Chains A and B, each alone.
Chain A
Amino acid sequence: GENVEQHPSTLSVQEGDSAVIKCTYSDSASNYFPWYKQELGKRPQLIIDIRSNVGEKKDQRIAVTLNKTAKHFSLHITETQPEDSAVYFCAASTIQGAQKLVFGQGTRLTINP
């Protein structure tokens, strides 16, 4: 089955700097890659996603890139702000009768003022 590896597990950056989180997946049939943000004690919330027919997608300060050949995808956050502090999860979607999201292990991002 699908396996998603996410790095780093923790990331600390200065406010205003950029943050990059990287994921790799194993199943070449996966074709949908969402990113979720989970604040302390809250539910995971979808922040951006990308499909396999697209190499890059941007939404204001966040962007996601996908390299299908290498089975890599990354989340880029620019001009980081304190409210960006959270745990971020990447995921890859496979179809096993229904959509099945397999999540990475999560990255705890801390923005230092």
Chain B
Amino acid sequence: DTAVSQTPKYLVTQMGNDKSIKCEQNLGHDTMYWYKQDSKKFLKIMFSYNNKELIINETVPNRFSPKSPDKAHLNLHINSLELGDSAVYFCASSSDWRNYGYTFGSGTRLTVV
């Protein structure tokens, strides 16, 4: 029933490892996003996909690579993890590419040790 679901909810890993976070939405939305929320709670956009096409790619290290196999899924792969990557990563989706609110996933808390 969950509208936007992310897995895993928690991820603890060592520096230098590669990890992936998966996101799926069952709302029929065309646009999906990845946001990063740091320890100060600031929400910053990383990527946006519209119907599998990359639309927004903020200044994010190229160790981060999003992939959208279809419009209902948007995954995030992170290579060579660093301590500074520790954060909560939120997936979100919206119903139209013109000005509608987002529906957020429950978040993935990534801790790099």
* A and B interact: yes
* Among candidates A42, A51, A101, A105, residue contacting B45 with C-beta atoms closer than 8 Å: A101
Please provide the chain A residues from 28 to 63 with a CB less than 8 Å away from any CB of chain B in the complex: 31-32, 34, 38, 42-46, 49, 51
Minimum CB–CB distance from A13 to chain B (whole Å) comes to 19
Task: Sort chain A's interface into a size bin.
Answer: 20 to 34
Bound together, the chains give a CA A56 to CA B20 distance in angstroms of 42
Please provide the chain B residues from 73 to 113 with a CB less than 8 Å away from any CB of chain A in the complex: 90, 94, 96-107
Task: Sort chain B's interface into a size bin.
Answer: 20 to 34
Please provide the chain A residues from 82 to 113 with a CB less than 8 Å away from any CB of chain B in the complex: 87, 89, 93, 95-103, 105-106, 108
Given A43-B90, A46-B102, A93-B99, are A100 and B107 also a contact pair (CB < 8 Å)?
no
Contact B100 A43 (CB under 8 A): no
Q: List A contacts of B27 (CB < 8 A).
A: none
Complex A-B: 17 CB contacts under 8 Å: A32-B100, A43-B104, A44-B104, A46-B101, A46-B102, A46-B103, A51-B99, A93-B99, A95-B98, A95-B99, A97-B50, A99-B97, A99-B98, A101-B45, A103-B42, A103-B44, A108-B41
B: which residues have CB within 8 A of A? 31, 40-45, 48, 50, 55-56, 90, 94, 96-107
